Structure 1
Amino acid sequence: MPAKGLLLLPALLLLVGCGGISDAPDRRVVTGTVTLDGAPLEGGVIRFRPLPEGPIAAGKIRDGKYEVTNKGGVPLGKQRVEIKGTPILPADTAGMSLGEIDAATKPAIPVPDKYHKNSELEADIEAGGDPLVLDFDLKN
């Protein structure tokens, strides 16, 4: 191989390595509702943990609704779903002092461990162009 070819080979390999080939998993936007004993979960977090392992995707729950869009959504495949209640901040905190925000913040609604710490919830995320709608009706 001529000397010029040897100089171009590392540059070509660098371009291929940085190109469109990605080891990131395919993903899909997931949206839906979360209720606890029939009432919308006011505030919380929903996490999708790939089984057996992989990148976690999460979204906030507000007034019983959630949407996971970060990095394109939830990785495709089987997921363990974890749902946890979180403190509920006021919708508009403009002009409020930290003390006023703290006083107006509602405490987290406790979600049973079987949906969070020891979650028994699972979901299968299949490929598709439209958001996948998954609703969760939790029971105490």
Structure 2
Amino acid sequence: MMIASATSRLLAVCGLVVVFTGCDAGVQRHAVSGTLTIDGEPVDDVTIVFTPVGEGLSGAAEVFEGEFACGEVGGPSKGMHNIRISPNEAEMEEVEEDLGELKAPRKPKVPLKYQRLGGLQVEITGEEGQVLNLQLER
């Protein structure tokens, strides 16, 4: 089941790259890497999506143990981008089998303001090997 889940996530990210691949050969994608922490703790098992504020190409990357990397193939274009961070797993606890009751929901891994467009913006400069250190707070 773990392999199927990882495979599903990989296919989803590949699908995002295909969707984000633009038809305009004049717009260049850029490699971007970095770290993602919330309240000083590395974030794990989320997807970070770069969506251009104006014209441009989007990009996406998986975040594991607080680190992410977009290559030039799936990276964003130069310019301002909204950042959206999406958890890769359900944010609710499963039903307790023996009691048949729901457990209290756990604190979301990623605050809702970062799961929506407009909660965070960054500038992709086009510099080779740009590194973003995203230090977020709840």
Q: Same fold (TM over 0.5)?
A: yes
Which contiguous aligned blocks of 4+ residues in structure 1 show a shift greater than 4 angstroms?
none
- Give the counterpart of 1:82 among 84, 90, 96: 84
| Mapped partners of 1:136, 1:44: distance in 2 | 14
- 1:51 Cα offset (Å): 1.1
Equivalent positions of 1:83-122 (< 5 A) are: 83-87=85-89, 110-122=109-121
Paired residues, what number? 100
Can you give the 5+ residue segments of structure 1 that lack an aligned partner in the other structure?
A: 1-21, 89-106
**1:108–1:55: structure 2 CA closer, same or farther, 3 Å change rule?**
farther
Decide which structure has greater helix share. 1
Deviation at 1:25, TM superposition (A): 1.4
TM-score, length-scaled by structure 1? 0.62
Give the Cα–Cα distance (whole angstroms) in 2 for the partners of residues 37 and 26 of structure 1.
34
TM-score, normalised with respect to structure 2: 0.63
Give the gaps of 5 or more residues in structure 2.
Answer: 1-23, 91-105
Change (3 A) 1:64 1:57: same
* Counterpart Cα distance in 2 of 1:23 and 1:58: 19
Larger radius of gyration: 1
Listed one character per residue, the Cα deviations across residues 86-131 of structure 1 (whole Å, up to 9, x for unaligned) are 239xxxxxxxxxxxxxxxxxx9953112111244211111122x21
CA offsets 1:74-95 (integer angstroms, 9 cap, x no match): 111111111122239xxxxxxx
SS in structure 2 at match of 1:27? coil
Does the C-alpha gap of structure 1 residues 32 and 85 become closer, same or farther in structure 2, counting only changes over 3 Å?
same
Structure 1 CA distance, aligned partners of 2:107 and 2:135? 18
| 1:124 corresponds to 2:126 | no
Aligned to 1:48: 50
Cα distance change of structure 1 residues 31 and 74 upon mapping to structure 2, 3 Å threshold: same
